[in-house]
Amino acid sequence: MVQAPSTEPTGGRAADARPAPGVAPSAAASAVPATAPTAPAPAADHVISTTGLTKRFRGGQLAVDGLDLTVPRGSVFGFLGPNGSGKTTTIRMLMGLIAPTSGRATVLGESMPQSVGSVLPRVGALIEGPALYGFLSGRDNLARYDAADPTADPRTRDQRVREALDRVGLTAAAGKKARAYSLGMKQRLGLAAALLQPRELLVLDEPTNGLDPQGMREIRSLVREVAAEGTTVFLSSHLLDEIEQVCTHAAVMSRGRLVVQGTVAELAARAQGRLVVRTDDTAAAAGVLAAHGLAGVVASEGRVDAEAGHGAEDTLPKLCAALVEAGVRVRGFGVERGTLEDAFVAMTGEGFDVAG
């Protein structure tokens, strides 16, 4: 549930906490033509659905432009895009924290923001970082959040807090003042607040922000665990690697518009694979591939890459034979599948963060 504590906390937004007003709008520039999305499933199978959802901020800045989004029930849904692409603005509209300029959104089958009171008790959220009372311990912060939830049984509060702290690896730091927490520890505490009670939907905005590689792996594992328990997870990130490792479905945003949505496998399949030849004779290998009409031939230390193209698997034996015949010492040869990063670049022409 998204609720505000009774006094002003330090920090940003929190799981189950209403963010302070005055958030800077996400940047949005020229429109990117949207690729036709995957055919939507019946509405009953969606936990989130939007139609023409648009947000224009004062001064005319268009942060979200005509978003048509569908999030299947039971999915781990990656909401992917560079910083400033409209992800957080979209999440804030979905949670009823700001009103859309036009369009409509439903969450758990109910219209937002009209149904905030009935929807948010069924949702756990961490939006734009956790809002914490710096003078309270991590344990006491969670107790405050739990007490603000009218559906929470006070008799079992201590148990819920202990279990939430344990799930995010903060048991040893439970008694430490929140002001002494590192950024990664604060992020973990925000996740713990979102996990105090089982929810139908868990909304996470950049959940691995501030975490080291080990912490990122632990949060990915936690997301998978929560999803296995039946919770739909909506995870916003600018990290392609994060989405590809943990999500079943994804949508790509760019400059406030939806580029494409579908399963992660479908999106990655939009990228052409790369033919990779591992050899010390890179110049000779590059010449053979170019002579056989392969495009995008790139030689680097110990390997030569080229665009595989459609039907590449059928031509591999011929190419390998040509390399050997030319005297190229081949140590490895095959096609590497396209990645989500390749697909994003192909669809938008933009670069992207892969791992941080």
Selection from 5-14, 259-268, 271-280 with the highest mean pLDDT: 259-268
> What per-residue confidence (pLDDT) applies to 21?
30
> What per-residue confidence (pLDDT) applies to 85?
87
pLDDT above 70 covers a percentage of the chain that reads: 79
Query: What's the mean pLDDT when you consider all of the chain?
Result: 81
Task: Please tell me which residue, 337 or 17, carries the higher pLDDT value.
Answer: 337
Q: Averaged over 74-85, what is the pLDDT?
A: 89
> What per-residue confidence (pLDDT) applies to 347?
61
CA separation for the pair 262, 271 (Å, rounded): 14
Q: By CB neighbour count within 10 A (0-12 exposed, 13-18 middle, 19+ buried), where does 184 fall? A: middle
Task: Please tell me which residue, 41 or 244, carries the higher pLDDT value.
Answer: 244
Task: Please tell me which residue, 22 or 248, carries the higher pLDDT value.
Answer: 248
Where does the pLDDT of residue 353 fall: very low under 50, low under 70, confident under 90, or very high at 90 and above?
very low
Where does the pLDDT of residue 241 fall: very low under 50, low under 70, confident under 90, or very high at 90 and above?
confident
Does the structure show a pLDDT above 60 at 25?
Answer: no
> What per-residue confidence (pLDDT) applies to 134?
93
- Of 34-38, 52-56, 110-114, 165-169, minimum mean pLDDT range: 34-38
> What per-residue confidence (pLDDT) applies to 63?
95
> What per-residue confidence (pLDDT) applies to 79?
93
Q: Averaged over 244-264, what is the pLDDT?
A: 90
Other beta carbons less than 10 A from residue 156's beta carbon = 12
> What per-residue confidence (pLDDT) applies to 274?
76
Nearest C-alpha neighbor of 347 from the set 251, 229, 280, 283: 251
> What per-residue confidence (pLDDT) applies to 272?
64
> What per-residue confidence (pLDDT) applies to 68?
96
Where does the pLDDT of residue 27 fall: very low under 50, low under 70, confident under 90, or very high at 90 and above?
very low
Nearest C-alpha neighbor of 14 from the set 184, 187, 165, 137: 187
Residue 87 phi, psi (nearest 5): -65, -50
- Of 20-29, 108-117, 177-186, 297-306, minimum mean pLDDT range: 20-29
Does the structure show a pLDDT above 60 at 326?
Answer: yes
The helix-helix angle for 138-147 and 183-194 (nearest 10°) equals: 30
Nearest C-alpha neighbor of 90 from the set 47, 50, 44: 50
The pLDDT tens digits for 219-232 are 888 899 999 999 99
> What per-residue confidence (pLDDT) applies to 44?
62
Does the structure show a pLDDT above 90 at 171?
Answer: yes
> What per-residue confidence (pLDDT) applies to 81?
83
Q: Please indicate, yes or no, whether the overall pTM of this predicted structure exceeds 0.75.
A: no
The pLDDT tens digits for 327-344 are 999 988 887 766 666 666
Task: Please tell me which residue, 173 or 151, carries the higher pLDDT value.
Answer: 173
